[in-house]
């Protein structure tokens, strides 16, 4: 994947409608957007994916759909989900500390690297030193997830060997998501 930054949606934490939050964030530069919000019925997520896909593509980003229920170009799978058939062009997976990384993926998010405000109780956090070991041994690019609450941690993840970072709350809950994207992208260069 060409992007070093993955933003995971969370419409419940947004200070405005999700599409508006994403549009403001994209002003800070392109990124990969994972449409999560799995509590929505598939039909609603599919409609939202179409809307967000156009928006993200206009800025040079890519839309990835979490655990899709129909064929998509890019899919992000939870740990238990099998790779869809036919296989999407881009396939990533959530991997939690201690789980093996499937070499058939295009990338994975690995968590928790730091304690996470959005998913308290997941852990323990592995920290940058263990992340470096994971990245060195991984057969696919690793994106650090969990507690990436600003540019310092994004930089620490890159210095540990991560291909990039994945964030949710830092951007989805922000009053100024454009600023957050600019700061994160600046640390990931």
Q: Count of residues for the chain?
A: 189
Report the candidate in 68, 2, 28, 1 with the shortest Cα–Cα distance to residue 174: 28
Mean pLDDT in residue range 169-184: 97
131: region left, alpha or beta (phi > 0 left; psi from -120 to 50 alpha):
alpha
Residue 91 has pLDDT above 90, yes or no: yes
Residue 65 token pair = 């759909």
When pLDDT is cut at 50, 70 and 90, the band that residue 155 belongs to is very high
| Residue 72, H or E segment | none
Tell if the pTM clears 0.75, that is, is over it.
yes
| Residue 61, H or E segment | none
How is the chain split into domains, by residue range?
A: 5-188
When pLDDT is cut at 50, 70 and 90, the band that residue 26 belongs to is very high
Q: What pLDDT is recorded for position 120? A: 64
For 5-188, CATH gives 3.20.20.70
Per the DSSP assignment, residues forming a β-bridge with 90 are: 74
* Helices then strands, each counted (H, E), the chain: 6, 8
Angle, helices 177-188 vs 18-26, to 10°: value is: 50
For the chain, percent helix, then strand, then coil, each to nearest 5? 35, 20, 45
- Return phi, psi of residue 16, to 5°: -150, 175
When pLDDT is cut at 50, 70 and 90, the band that residue 121 belongs to is low
Q: How far apart are CA 119 and CA 142, in angstroms?
A: 19
Q: How far apart are CA 108 and CA 166, in angstroms?
A: 10
Query: If DSSP codes are grouped into helix, strand and coil, which group holds residue 132?
Result: helix
């Amino acid at each position: 994947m060409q992007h070093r930054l993955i933003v995971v949606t969370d419409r419940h934490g947004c200070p405005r409608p999700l599409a508006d939050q994403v549009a403001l964030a994209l002003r800070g530069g392109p990124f990969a957007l994972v449409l999560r919000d799995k509590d929505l019925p598939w039909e609603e997520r599919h409609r939202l994916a179409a809307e967000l896909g156009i928006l993200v593509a206009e800025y040079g980003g890519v839309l990835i759909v979490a655990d899709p229920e129909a064929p998509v170009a890019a899919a992000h799978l939870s740990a238990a989900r099998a790779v869809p058939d036919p296989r999407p062009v881009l396939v990533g997976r959530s991997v939690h500390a201690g789980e093996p990384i499937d070499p058939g993926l295009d990338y994975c998010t690995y968590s928790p690297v730091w304690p996470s405000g959005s998913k308290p109780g997941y852990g323990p956090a592995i920290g940058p030193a263990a992340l470096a070991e994971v990245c060195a041994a991984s057969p696919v690019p690793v994106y650090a997830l969990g507690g990436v609450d600003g540019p310092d941690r994004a930089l620490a993840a890159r210095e540990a060997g991560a291909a990039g970072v994945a964030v949710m709350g830092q951007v989805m809950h922000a009053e100024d998501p454009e600023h957050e994207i600019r700061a994160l992208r600046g640390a990931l260069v």
